[in-house]
Amino acid sequence: MGISEKVMEALRAGILLNERVTTLIDKVNRMDQDIRHMNERLIRLETLVEIAKMQPAQPERPKIES
């Protein structure tokens, strides 16, 4: 294998590595967005639970028999 073939192989490997890193970065960014979205949803759910806990318990209404 000549020097030019080794250089070409190294360039090819570098380009492939760059593409893989770019793909990985895109996936990590999507995962980050998904996690942030889930975090926002969790905060809303926690808020609803806290509000529900603060509400006084309502007594049962008497049953009307007919």
Q: Which class for 11: exposed (0-12), middle (13-18), buried (19 or more C-beta within 10 A)?
A: exposed
List pLDDT tens digits, range 12-61. Answer: 999 999 999 999 999 999 999 999 999 999 999 999 999 999 988 777 77
Q: Which of 29, 10, 28, 6 is nearest to 18 (CA)?
A: 10
Overall pTM surpassing 0.75 (yes/no): no
pLDDT of residue 56: 81
How far apart are the C-alpha atoms of 31 and 22, rounded to whole Å? 14
How far apart are the C-alpha atoms of 50 and 44, rounded to whole Å? 10
For the chain, the structural domain boundaries read 1-55
Rg, the chain, Cα only: 30
